[in-house]
A = this chain, B = another copy of it.
Amino acid sequence: MALEKETEEKIFKAAQTVFQKRGFDGARMQEIADEAEINKSMLHYYYRSKDKLFQEVFQAGVKKVMPQLFGIISSELSLQEKVEKVVNFYHDMFWENQHLPSFVTYEMNQHPERFQEFMSNMNIKIPDVFADQIRKEVEAGRMADIPPRQFLMNIVGMSMMPMVAKKMVQTIFSLDEEGYFEFLEERRKLIPILIFKGVQPS
């Protein structure tokens, strides 16, 4: 039982590594087996097919991102704190899972049908508390009128884009690994300021 769980986990982690790096179409079962240091037979012993293994990896990926995001914006924190928390969450998560943002984004485009149901099952919608918070700021004249979905898109776009387009950013700005990380740390501080100044009333 101890070994059993270990192996299943080894396989799963290897699958995460390979799928997130290569995508579904680019991933090879043999590479997953090698990465897990087991043989191909074991893959099918624990997970019946590539498809099934992929689904679990993908869903785990979505679960690692979405609940946290919606957890933060559904909380009772101030808007300011929410923005900072979301930005920090994306940046922290990215160090541990460099390919995750790109992976989830891309595979979601490739197989939307399969996962829209799965997404609806989780509580994926802009929470009232978040929309209300923005409306209140607008009515108090402390914020320009902006649709909550656009406000959210600003935060996510500003944070995720440089992660999803890592190699593009590195190439255009001539950044090695270290320079790229500095670039992201620079952004981490800048984004909340930008977001709020950006919606000041004019």
Contacts and interface: CB of A to CB of B under 8 A. Distances in A.
Nearest to A112: B167
A48 interface: no
A55 interface: no
A22 B195 CA distance: 34
B154 A186 contact: no
Copies of this chain? 2
Interface residues of A, number: 55
A41 interface: no
Interface stretch (A2-10, A76-84, A171-179): A171-179
A186 to B, nearest CB: 6
Contacts of A183: 149-150
Contacts of A166: 109
Contacts of A195: 198
Interface string A166-202: 1111111110000000010011001001110111101
Given A104-B168, A125-B172, 7 more contacts: A108-B165, A112-B167, A125-B174, A154-B194, A161-B164, A164-B165, A197-B198
